[in-house]
Amino acid sequence: MLDILDKGVCNNQEVRKVLSHYLNKPVIIKYNLGRNKFETYKVIITNLYNCIFIVQEIDNNRVKKSFSYADIITKTIKIYE
């Protein structure tokens, strides 16, 4: 698991710097919907912006999703290699 918070990272710029190492590489995102409900995506991180990053599903090339760096900081999503 890519646990960015264990490294002491707490702001958007540091999260973006860590995610830049995984740009255009396949990762698994586990999204916490609450009440013990999760969605899991096999994606490739395609773009990094100031507050969000864009991912594209590996199985379906048309589906793109965006997540914020705050989702990582608040542990709403977890990224696995």
- pLDDT the model gives residue 49: 96
- pLDDT the model gives residue 81: 87
Question: Which CATH number fits the domain that encloses residue 29?
Answer: 2.30.30.100
Averages of pLDDT over runs of 10 residues in the chain (81 residues) are: 69 90 94 94 95 92 90 92 87
Quote helix, strand, coil % in the chain, to nearest 5: 25, 45, 30
56: domain range?
4-80
- pLDDT the model gives residue 50: 93
Counted domains in the chain = 1
- pLDDT the model gives residue 25: 94
pTM for the model: 0.86
